[in-house]
Amino acid sequence: MCDHCSCRQHRAIAELSTEHEQILEVAWALSERHRETGVSDGPLQEQLGQMLAVHVEAEEVALYPLLVETGGLQPDKSDDLEQEHTDLAAALISGKFDRRMYFELASHIEEEELELFPLAMFGFDDEDWAVLEATPRFLAPDTPLVH
């Protein structure tokens, strides 16, 4: 992941970015399993589902609404990103998380890393960062991605 704007100096963004790396690692393993066996069920599917549930909640409850509020993200774009989350969850549930879905996930993450995180970096003031980092997801240091 890049850090061209230094947005990872903010703990919430640093955590989300680290989670992106972990999610992509498990997602790749799951897509490879699907390629080899034709299905993507099992422990990797469950692990990725849990990881995404924790991560997506942080984005949809905290990050996206703040970006919309500050004008950095249009509401319809936020809706599109949330729909992508829903589509990924559906692919996982159906056992059809394949390489195509992996690359859709990677593209989604790239958009967040290269567009949304810099929007937060340059659009949030101290109060916005305080609001983001005061959401329950970020209050506990080192909140595990998988419970």
Q: How would residue 6 be classed by pLDDT, with cut points 50, 70 and 90?
A: low
Residue 126's domain spans which residues? 10-136
User: Mean pLDDT, to the nearest integer, of 107-113?
Assistant: 96
**What is the residue-averaged pLDDT of the chain?**
88
d(CA 88, CA 86): 5
Q: What is the pTM of this model?
A: 0.88
Residue 3 belongs to some domain of the structure:
no
117 in any annotated domain:
yes
CATH of the domain at 76: 1.20.120
